[in-house]
């Protein structure tokens, strides 16, 4: 199945309503073409498996999800484009040939649908969820232990943004159940997103304060037209991409992510990519007890008595 997708580095409505003079300064359009081969001679199962492999290659290697799976990045989030949006942007680009276009492959939407339908392992330490944000539908991949830790560390910040007290493990459990109200508030806030996505507290705070005027270089080259710094399973394997606003914090983060990348490469080396990913996803959760107790205390709540 062939389909065309597009995304921007800024809000798409801001782009489409900008003047022609200013439009080129707002964004670089990434125009994606899904080229999963026609598989008349293969079974449906093999087709779906290939879609899932492509989905995880893109989510983990291109968008930083490997560092949520086996590193220190609490959450990875990516947009899921609707058919209507695809058609709208495709038509818009045809009308505006002056807009720079970068071609790349994209499998996220098809692969996500295939993964939802597949028989898959239990993921006690990870949550996959769809969250509506404004007019967008977002795919969230969350590491339970790392997110519990970061919500506890910056509890007062997140409480202020959410507008209420909360228990980290409780709101993580709500997300697993499809209850997204708390998360919609956090993930619409630039500071909260930066912290949760592992971009650094100072980077997130300074971007949130001055997002319109800050100019900063990215943590690593992510231009698909150029060779990547690292490859895994034959695909570019990038560290999380963020703006280096606080240079000291950023350099420390980059060094840590590069160390984690080498360790993750070791996990996958010589092994089947999908089977190894599923094995990592099925790792047992643990280590929440102390933080859970502190969270109940902070929120002014009482843990229910154990019923034996």
Residue bearing tokens 């971009």: 199
Q: In what order do the strands lie in the sheet with 75-80?
A: 75-80, 136-143, 126-133
Which of 12-16, 140-144, 269-273 comes out lowest in average pLDDT? 12-16
Q: Give the whole-angstrom CA distance, residue 63 versus residue 111.
A: 14
Q: Are 215 and 190 in contact (CB under 8 A)?
A: no
Confidence tier at 11 by pLDDT (50, 70, 90) = very low
Contact (CB, 8 A) for 238 and 220: yes
Q: Which band of pLDDT confidence, cut at 50, 70 and 90, is reported for residue 121? A: confident
pLDDT of residue 43: 42
Asked if 142 and 172 count as a contact pair (C-beta separation under 8 A), the reply is: yes
* The dihedral formed by the CA atoms of 60, 61, 67 and 73, expressed in degrees to the nearest 10: -80
Torsions phi, psi for 140 (to 5 deg): -115, 130
Nearest to 141 by CA among 277, 290, 295, 254: 277
pLDDT tens, residue by residue, 169-221 = 999 999 999 999 999 999 999 999 999 999 999 999 998 887 654 567 899 98
> Which residues, including other chains, have CB under 8 Å from residue 11's CB and lie 6 or more apart?
none
Q: Token pair 């790792």 is at which residue?
A: 283
User: Regarding predicted confidence, which is higher, 21 or 148?
Assistant: 148
**Measured CA angle at 210 (ends 154, 171), to 5 deg:** 30
Q: Under DSSP, is residue 301 helix (H, G, I), strand (E, B) or coil? A: coil
Residues 201 and 249 sit within 8 Å (Cβ to Cβ): yes
More confident residue, 26 or 183: 183
Residue holding tokens 């539908």? 137
More confident residue, 39 or 71: 71
Of 11-15, 129-133, 168-172, 193-197, the one with minimum mean pLDDT is: 11-15
Three-state secondary structure call for residue 93? helix
Residue 258 has a pLDDT of 97
Please tell me the predicted confidence (pLDDT) of residue 88. Answer: 87
Q: State mean pLDDT over 1-21.
A: 41
CB 149 within 8 A of CB 142: no
Q: Is 149 within 8 Å of 73 (Cβ atoms)? A: no
Taking only Cα atoms into account, the Rg of the chain, rounded to an integer number of angstroms, comes to 20
- Return the percentage of the chain with pLDDT > 90, whole number: 57
pLDDT reading at 165 higher than 90: yes
H/E stretch holding 117: helix 108-117
Q: Is the pLDDT of residue 75 over 50?
A: yes
Supply the DSSP symbol for 215.
Answer: -
Q: 10: how many CB neighbours lie within 10 A of its CB?
A: 11
Give residue 297's pLDDT.
Answer: 53
The model scores a pTM over 0.75: yes
pLDDT, tens digit, for every residue of 247-297?
A: 999 999 999 999 999 999 999 999 999 999 999 999 876 544 445 545 555
DSSP conformational letter for 60: I
Q: What is the per-residue pLDDT for 39?
A: 34
Q: How many CB atoms lie within 10 A of CB 226?
A: 9
- HSE-CB at 216 with a 13 A cutoff on CA atoms is 20
Residue range 120-129: mean pLDDT, rounded: 92
């Amino acid at each position: 199945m062939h389909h065309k997708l597009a995304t921007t580095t800024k809000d798409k409505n801001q782009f489409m309503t900008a003047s022609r003079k200013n439009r080129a300064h707002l964004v670089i359009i990434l125009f994606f073409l899904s080229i999963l081969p026609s598989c008349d001679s293969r079974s449906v199962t093999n087709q779906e498996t290939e879609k899932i492999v492509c989905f995880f290659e893109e989510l983990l290697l291109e968008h930083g999800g490997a560092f949520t799976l086996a590193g220190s990045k609490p959450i990875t989030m990516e947009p899921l484009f609707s058919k209507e949006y695809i058609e709208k942007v495709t038509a818009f680009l045809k009308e505006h040939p002056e807009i720079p276009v970068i071609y790349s492959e994209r499998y996220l939407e098809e692969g996500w649908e295939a993964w939802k339908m597949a028989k898959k392992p239990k993921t006690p330490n990870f949550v996959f969820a769809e969250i509506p944000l404004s007019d967008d539908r977002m795919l969230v991949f969350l590491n339970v232990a790392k997110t519990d830790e970061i919500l506890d560390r910056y509890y007062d910040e997140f409480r202020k943004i959410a507008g209420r007290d909360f228990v980290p493990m409780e709101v993580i459990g709500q997300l697993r159940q499809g209850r997204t109200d708390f998360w919609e508030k956090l993930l619409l806030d630039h500071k909260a997103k930066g912290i949760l996505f592992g971009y650094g507290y100072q980077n997130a705070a300074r971007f949130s304060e001055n997002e319109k005027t800050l100019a900063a270089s990215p943590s690593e080259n992510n231009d698909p037209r150029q060779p990547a710094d690292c490859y895994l399973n034959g695909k570019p394997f990038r560290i999380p991409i963020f703006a280096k606003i606080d240079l000291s914090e950023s350099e420390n983060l980059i060094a840590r992510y590069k160390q984690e990348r080498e360790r993750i490469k070791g996990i996958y080396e010589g092994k089947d990519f999908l089977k190894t990913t599923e094995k990592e996803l099925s790792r047992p959760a643990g280590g929440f007890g102390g933080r859970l107790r502190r969270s109940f205390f902070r929120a002014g709540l009482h843990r229910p008595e154990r019923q034996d």
